[in-house]
Amino acid sequence: NAGVMQNPRHLVRRRGQEARLRCSPMKGHSHVYWYRQLPEEGLKFMVYLQKENIIDESGMPKERFSAEFPKEGPSILRIQQVVRGDSAAYFCASSPEDSYPDEQFFGPGTRLTVL
Amino acid sequence: KQEVTQIPAALSVPEGENLVLNCSFTDSAIYNLQWFRQDPGKGLTSLLLIQSSQREQTSGRLNASLDKSSGRSTLYIAASQPGDSATYLCAVPWMDSSYKLIFGSGTRLLVRP
């Protein structure tokens, strides 16, 4: 029973490039959440998605960041034209379709380094 | 606005000690509180989840208590081991949007052999 999977685990990009982070939720989970952990800071909510729907993206920076969770395949967090301040650990979590609030199960994270 | 604080920020203890990690939250109207463990460079492992109607939860050498009225939770680790060294995070769901977890900044624990 695989947990939440994220890839890549480590990603290095130069300023101006694009970063694509992938998250496969636990089997049977249809809710996906993305969090960002900046160096020496706590995790901060970014976005909540269900299949083909963005439910809440209030924690996402207004520019350059986007997220999707298509009908088939993993959820994608996309960062365009990365800057050094985007360097962080990005965590994905998932939960089942039951009503809130429920326990969120976290993936191992993707550590993005922008050179 | 809910704020979650963890004290101390770092803790170093000799192996075998019993220890307490603290988590406080400003808004006592919470659904639940969750304790996580984060190992360096790795993801979060859920340790315990306490529902708002519960006072405590236990798992092995871990015991988490919840006092909503005072806005506090404690994580008690009995007979600490070097393998317990990690960062411990607590989190509560935001009441207006309960899928948003609000995290404390964590307590970095080092258990010395």
B104: closest chain A residue by CA: A42
Which DSSP symbol is given to A63?
S
pLDDT, one tens digit per residue, over A4-16 is 999 999 999 999 9
The letter for the amino acid at A92 is C
Q: What is the pLDDT of residue A100?
A: 56
Q: What is the pLDDT of residue A112?
A: 97
Q: What is the rounded CA–CA span in Å between residue A106 and residue B91?
A: 13
Asked if residue A97 has pLDDT above 90, the reply is no
Asked if residue A24 has pLDDT above 80, the reply is yes
A10: closest chain B residue by CA: B41
Q: Given an 8 Å threshold on Cβ–Cβ distance, is B34 in contact with A103?
A: yes
Q: Given an 8 Å threshold on Cβ–Cβ distance, is A48 in contact with B99?
A: yes
Mean pLDDT, residues A95-103 taken together: 70
- CA A11 vs. chain centroid, Å, equals 13
Asked if residue A1 has pLDDT above 60, the reply is no
Which DSSP symbol is given to A26?
P
pLDDT, one tens digit per residue, over B69-113 is 999 999 999 999 999 999 999 999 887 777 889 999 999 999 999
| Chain A residues within 8 angstroms (CB to CB) of chain B | 6, 31, 33, 35, 41-45, 48, 55-56, 58-59, 91, 93, 95, 100-101, 103-109, 111
For residue B73, count other CB atoms closer than 10 A to its CB. 27
Q: Given an 8 Å threshold on Cβ–Cβ distance, is B99 in contact with A111?
A: no
pLDDT, one tens digit per residue, over B1-37 is 889 999 999 999 999 999 999 999 998 888 899 999 9
Which DSSP symbol is given to A42?
-
